[in-house]
Amino acid sequence: MYRLEYIIRRLIMAIAVLISVSIVTFFIARVVPSDPAAAWVGSHPTEEQVAQARETLGLDRPLYEQYFRYMQGVLHGDLGKSVKTHQPISTDLKTFFPATLELVLVSMLIAIVFGIPLGVFSGAGKGSLLDHTTRLLAIAGVSIPTFWLGLILQLIFFGRLGFLPLNGRISTEIALYDPISQMTGFYLIDSAITGNWVAFKDALLHIILPAFTLATYPLGLTIRMTRSTMIEVLNEKYILAARVAGISERAILFILALKNAIIPTITVLGLSFVYSLTGAILVEVVFSWPGLGTYVTNAVLSIDFPVIVSVTLLVTVFYVFINLFLDLAQAMIDPRVTL
Amino acid sequence: MTIAVRPDEIGEPSPARLKEYHLMLRAFRRDPLAVVSLVMIIVFILGAIFAPVLTPYPEQGRGEPNILEKFQPPSRVHLLGTDYLGRDVLARILFGARSSLSIGFLVVFIAVAIGIPLGAIAGYYGGLIDDIIMRTTDMFLAFPPLLLAIAIAAALGANFTNAMIAIAFTWWPWYARLVRAQTLSLRKLYFIEAARSIGVSDFTIIIRHILPNVLTPVLVQATMDIGGAILTGAAISFIGLGVQPPAPDWGKMISTGRIYFIERPWFAGSAGAAIFLVTLAFNLLGDAIRDVVDPRTRRAA
């Protein structure tokens, strides 16, 4: 009963947050820039053109009416048009969002595959050389500018060693001769489903560097979190009992202890997932990755507000839902959670 | 029934508290990483202040091109080489430290200046005021910080002040929450109740008795945040918002040096190393201060 009340309150809160988020983004888009109508028309507009643009964009109407019209559009999946290209933003997002999502998911996979074992060993051998090294790596991971790390990885693996591509999502030749048929928008999945292994290998080689760059932050967090909860769990009596019973050390660490230590780590992974969605902006610029980040930075340079605001809105909605999901999941697992 | 009141519950520095500070200082000095990072921060601050004296090329540091010497690799004349306009990279780094360090300190300062009063008011009065302030922080925390900062900075226009305002805007809610939580627990203590019962005004109680007691956790958080603020500031100017050329800035140096990086890595590379070292130093220092202040993690002295 109590839990149900918590869930309902949390849902209402999420809806209130979404509404206020839409008001803030609307405000940034329509009120702050000097004149959206002039931006729409382009350079050297005549007064007539601007007046006409004002009417087309609905800028001559009262502010609250503009907001409701804007929201009506958003709820129907219409985010307006880019000021620069006059293309519908929702169409652009359909091609850019999967690219970013694929990059983020691969980097999360890297964080899990490397982060959890490193955290387990580092926690089990508290104070060892491995422990000190991983702690230092973890703090370096949250201090390093990803856009600089990306450049260094390019210099080493493309410039010096030459076995990974410099940037982009797929080679031009592959895109021309073995094109990937678009289904999910995830190149790795689409090429695997259609058995296009040439393209799969190429897409995989392209995603390695940006994904590792983006993974540094979640990797650092995962290691730190797993380490500290492992230290706590390993002091419990049931671990001692397992040792006395002669269960192998590996089984104790990775089955008995990790089972309890993994819950906080999952929360951290969820939080770093949403962090990576925005962290990807910088990494995408370095690797010319055709995703949301490249889209939004180009919009910043051409002062294309509808695009900036739509990307902000999309990612924020994602952000709110993941936070909601994490809170609800935690409430399911841990009955002590309150608002 | 007698109630034991410790001297520091009255809000005055007690011998016990002085001894506490002494212990903290000793624990801090024993942590080599903390001392190294403090020294590193001081070196960067001095470098920023004395930039015009430290480099033989102050005018290049400020942005004057020197096209005849462009793309020089590091040498005795130019310790870190020259950039695509022939400017001495070390001079650019020293002058660039000014904008990066000031954005770090100012962002945290603004965030603290907004967060402390709002958090203290919310925690002290409770009720409707508390609800309004806390729901506002919820709203701001609902945004991914970097993206909100980009959107605000873009809306305000690309320059140093706007970038700073935009980042501070995404940072203050954390301080409001922190201070509110501290105030809530302080409010229940006897010395606050005693002050109220003898008719001390709310304003005086907040200033004289609540604020001094919330400063330590705020200070710890602030040290940890300066590194993050510097990193975010660099990211914002890397994207093209923030400090505009020819003014020196680390994030900008990376974005302009990016296209030459494979052949001539020294200028974008040095700027990135500077950002990394400063951020790392502040994060290590923040970690160390937290360990020292929190007696649970302090190593036995």
Interchain CB distance below 8 Å, B272 and A274: no
Q: Which chain B residues are closer than 8 Å to A316 by Cβ?
A: 142-144, 147-148
ipTM confidence:
0.84
Residue A78 has pLDDT above 90, yes or no: no
Q: Flag whether A315 is in a domain.
A: no
Average pLDDT, whole number, for chain A? 84
pLDDT tens digit sequence for A218-232: 888 888 888 888 888
pLDDT tens digit sequence for A38-48: 667 766 777 77
Q: Which of A33, A286, A300 is nearest residue B241 as measured by Cβ atoms?
A: A300
A157, closest residue in chain B (CA to CA) = B262
Q: A12, A20, A143, A152: best mutation site toward chain B, by most B Cβ within 10 Å?
A: A143
The three-point CA angle A276-B177-B210 to 5° equals: 150
Q: Which chain A residues are closer than 8 Å to B37 by Cβ?
A: none
- Whole-number Å distance between alpha carbons of B244 and B210: 42
Residue A116 has pLDDT above 80, yes or no: yes
A155 and chain B: CB distance < 8 Å anywhere? yes
- Whole-number Å distance between alpha carbons of A215 and A271: 13
Q: Which chain B residues are closer than 8 Å to A166 by Cβ?
A: 262
pLDDT band at A110; cut points 50, 70, 90: very high
Q: How far is CA B267 from the centre of its chain?
A: 25
CATH code of residue A197: 1.10.3720.10
- Whole-number Å distance between alpha carbons of B14 and B32: 30
Q: Which chain B residues are closer than 8 Å to A158 by Cβ?
A: 262
Distance to chain A for B79, nearest Cα, Å: 20
pLDDT tens digit sequence for A8-22: 888 888 888 888 888
Interchain CB distance below 8 Å, A151 and B272: yes
Interchain CB distance below 8 Å, B144 and A278: yes
Q: Flag whether A122 is in a domain.
A: yes
Pairwise pLDDT comparison (B223 vs B26), residue with the higher score = B223
Residues 117-146 of chain A with CB under 8 A from chain B are 139-140, 142-145
Q: Which of B139, B152, B275 is nearest residue A145 as measured by Cβ atoms?
A: B275
Residue B96 has pLDDT above 90, yes or no: yes
Looking at residue B1, its pLDDT comes to 42
User: What are the C-alpha distances in Å from B82 to residues A157, B79, B87, B253?
Assistant: 25, 9, 5, 12
pLDDT tens digit sequence for B177-190: 999 998 988 888 88
Q: Flag whether A287 is in a domain.
A: yes
Interchain CB distance below 8 Å, A308 and B151: yes
pLDDT band at A180; cut points 50, 70, 90: confident
Q: Flag whether A49 is in a domain.
A: no
CB-defined contacts A:B, below 8 A: 131
Q: Flag whether A309 is in a domain.
A: no
Interchain CB distance below 8 Å, B231 and A25: no
- Whole-number Å distance between alpha carbons of A303 and A174: 34
Nearest to A128 by CA among A240, A231, A239, A216: A231
Burial class (CB in 10 A: 0-12, 13-18, 19+), A266: middle
Q: Flag whether A325 is in a domain.
A: no
Helix (H) or strand (E) holding A90: helix A89-124
Q: Which of B156, B258, B279 is nearest residue A32 as measured by Cβ atoms?
A: B156
Average pLDDT, whole number, for chain B? 86
Interchain CB distance below 8 Å, A145 and B231: yes
pLDDT tens digit sequence for A122-168: 888 777 788 888 878 888 888 899 999 999 999 999 988 988 998 88
Look up the pTM and report it: 0.86
A22 and chain B: CB distance < 8 Å anywhere? no
Residue B279 has pLDDT above 70, yes or no: yes
Burial class (CB in 10 A: 0-12, 13-18, 19+), A75: exposed
Segments forming the whole domain that contains residue A152: 93-291
Pairwise pLDDT comparison (A59 vs B207), residue with the higher score = B207
Q: Flag whether A269 is in a domain.
A: yes
Nearest to A142 by CA among B101, B287, B257, B105: B287
pLDDT band at B43; cut points 50, 70, 90: very high
Q: Which whole number is the average pLDDT over A189-208?
A: 89
Interchain CB distance below 8 Å, B261 and A311: no
Q: Which whole number is the average pLDDT over B263-291?
A: 89
- Whole-number Å distance between alpha carbons of B174 and B107: 13
Interchain CB distance below 8 Å, B150 and A315: no
Number of structural domains (chain A) is 1
- Whole-number Å distance between alpha carbons of A195 and A199: 9
Q: How far is CA A185 from the centre of its chain?
A: 16
Looking at residue A338, its pLDDT comes to 55
Residue A200 has pLDDT above 50, yes or no: yes
Interchain CB distance below 8 Å, A28 and B152: yes
Q: Flag whether A100 is in a domain.
A: yes
Q: Which residues pair with B82 in a beta bridge?
A: B88
Residue B61 has pLDDT above 50, yes or no: yes
B148, closest residue in chain A (CA to CA) = A312
Interchain CB distance below 8 Å, B272 and A279: no
pLDDT tens digit sequence for A263-305: 777 778 888 888 888 889 999 999 999 999 999 999 888 888 8
pLDDT tens digit sequence for B251-270: 999 999 898 988 889 889 99
Residues 215-274 of chain A with CB under 8 A from chain B are 274
Q: Which of A17, A154, A279 is nearest residue B262 as measured by Cβ atoms?
A: A154
